[in-house]
């Protein structure tokens, strides 16, 4: 009998055309990656743990733009064996390695991102601004835990923007939203914004610029993400306090030049 956990170990049929599209666009949205019953099972546990671990209790109107974007809880896998099954999924990790065109991937960390009803925009940004890593072979899977129409604020992407160097020095903020909105339009990067059906997931590279709209749906937008990095990537010299914080929190004990192989960064998939 196939269990819910077993379903996370099976391979997803990924075509060469899909890998090529990801290479060109910097992201890809895939359909029917996870079955509705699988999502329902893990959503219950993920949501319970977000409520338990979350430390953000200010009213929306008293938060910054970043704080209004979502409730954010990282490394939720450390709080639940059930969540760990999801985060350590061979199915998702195998897709990540194939899209990055690397032999294997290891965990950077996970993040639950819950955009509350009435939550604001997620400003334009590129994730890799925060990561002191030796290459761009990083990818995030964005997994909505419910059907996500446009009014709920699904993730949107600037197609091909992983090659755009403007804005790479901007943290996620009002400034990044304003500056990148203008720059991406001036350089004619097409905006890809679509609803997500239940079971759809997206993968985007560390340098792909993305944002999300506000949530006007009246219900929370529950999303689980996992960030993967090339299993052979190395730590580079931190260039700022944010880099140093990343090392301390997510790659503890890793020295410059070393592969981040701490207990928090297990190898999740390696092609045999």
CATH number of the domain bearing residue 218: 2.60.120.620
Asked if residue 271 belongs to a domain, the reply is: no
**Rounded distance between C-alpha atoms, residue 143 and residue 109, angstroms:** 14
Asked if residue 16 belongs to a domain, the reply is: yes
Enumerate the β-bridge partners of residue 139. Answer: 205, 228
8 A C-beta contact, residue 38 and residue 8: yes
Asked if residue 272 belongs to a domain, the reply is: no
Q: How many domains does the chain have?
A: 1
User: DSSP class of residue 214?
Assistant: -
Residue range of the domain that includes 156: 4-251
Alpha-helical regions (H) of the chain = 4-7, 16-25, 36-53, 65-69, 81-87, 90-100, 174-186, 241-250
pLDDT digit of tens for each residue in the chain (272 aa)? 356 778 899 999 999 999 999 999 999 999 999 999 999 999 999 999 999 998 777 667 767 766 666 688 999 999 999 999 999 999 999 999 999 999 999 999 999 999 999 999 999 999 999 999 999 999 999 999 999 999 999 999 999 999 999 999 999 999 999 999 999 999 999 999 999 999 999 999 999 999 999 999 999 999 999 999 999 999 999 998 999 999 999 999 999 999 999 999 999 999 98
8 A C-beta contact, residue 140 and residue 226: yes
């Amino acid at each position: 009998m196939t269990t819910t956990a077993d379903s996370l170990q099976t391979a997803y049929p990924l075509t060469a055309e899909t890998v090529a599209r990801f290479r060109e666009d910097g992201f890809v949205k895939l359909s029917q990656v996870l079955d509705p019953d699988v999502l329902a099972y893990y959503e219950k546990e993920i949501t319970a743990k977000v409520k338990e671990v979350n430390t953000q209790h200010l009213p929306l109107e008293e938060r910054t733009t970043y704080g209004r974007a979502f409730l954010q809880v990282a490394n939720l896998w450390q709080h639940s064996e059930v969540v760990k099954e999801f985060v350590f999924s061979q199915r998702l990790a195998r897709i990540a390695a194939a899209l990055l065109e690397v032999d294997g991937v290891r965990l950077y960390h996970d993040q639950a991102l819950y955009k509350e009803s009435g939550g604001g925009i997620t400003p334009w940004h590129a994730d890799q601004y925060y990561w002191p890593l030796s290459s761009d072979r990083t990818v995030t899977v964005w997994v909505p835990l419910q059907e996500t129409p446009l009014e709920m604020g699904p993730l949107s992407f600037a197609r091909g923007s992983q090659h755009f160097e403007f804005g790479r020095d901007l943290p996620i903020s009002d400034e990044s939203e304003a500056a990148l909105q203008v720059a991406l339009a001036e350089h004619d990067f097409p905006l890809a914004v679509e609803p997500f059906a239940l079971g759809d997931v997206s993968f985007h590279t560390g340098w792909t610029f993305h944002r999300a709209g506000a949530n006007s749906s009246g219900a929370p937008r529950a999303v689980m993400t996992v960030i993967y990095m090339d299993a052979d990537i190395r730590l580079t010299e931190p260039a700022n306090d944010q880099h140093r914080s990343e090392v301390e929190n997510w790659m503890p004990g890793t020295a410059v030049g070393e592969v981040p192989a701490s207990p928090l960064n297990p190898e999740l998939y390696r092609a045999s």
